[in-house]
Structure 1
C-alpha cells in the first residue's frame, strides 16, 4: 500500500478513470468514527452543452481497514474538471468508486449542484444503513434559495 501521491509531485489526472486513489491503513481500526470531506468548489462539464457545472460535495464515511489519502482524493475530484457527465453520474460514481476500492463500513455523498437553467439539483447516495453508534451530523449545506 505505498501511496503514489503522498510526498510526491503529482499532476491532475486527465480523467476520473485515469486517477489513482491511494489508501492507507486505518490508524484507529476497530473504532467506529466518521470522516467528512467537504468539497465546496467541485466542477465538471455538462455532457450536452460542454458548459461548466459547479457543486458543493460532502462525503462522509466510516472507515473499515483503510482510509483514503486526501491528496489522491483531491486529484481524483479535480480530474472531473474536464469530464462531461450528468450531476447524478458524477455524484453516485464518486461514491461507488470509493466504496468499491476503500471498502468502508459505510459511505454517503451529497452533491449540492448550483442552478443551471434556474433549477438546482441535489443528488444523494449512500452505501447502506449507517453503523450503530456513529454520530451522523447534518451535511450542513442549506437548500438553494437564490434571491428569495
Structure 2
C-alpha cells in the first residue's frame, strides 16, 4: 500500500508544470470547411438594411500546417484570403478578437502556456473597402 501511495505521489510531482516550461498545445484543427472562430458587428451607418461586418476563420485541408481561410463580409460584399500561422506555431489555435477601430478584428494566438493575446493578422472594414494584413511577425524556432 505504501508503494502505491509513493508511486502516486511521484506521478503527481512529475506532472507539475513549472513556469517557463512549455508544452505543445492540444489544439487539433477541425476538418476542412469548419469554422474555427467568428464574430460580427452591426454596421451602425446602415440602419436601413440592418447589415453586419463579419469575419470568419475557417479550417482548410492544410490547417494541420497552420493555414486557414479568412472570410470577411461587409453587408453583401465578401473578401476571402488565406493566412499562415507563424513557422513553429502551426499548432496554435487562431483566436479572433475585436480591434481598436469600430470595424476591425484581429486574428491572434496564445503561446503554449501563456494567456496573453498575441496579435498576428488584422481585418479592417469600412464603407466601400475591406483590408486584410499581417500586423506582426514572430520567430518561434
TM-score normalised by structure 2 residue count: 0.32
Higher helix share: 1
TM-score normalised by structure 1 residue count: 0.31
Give the greater-gyration-radius structure (CA).
Answer: 2
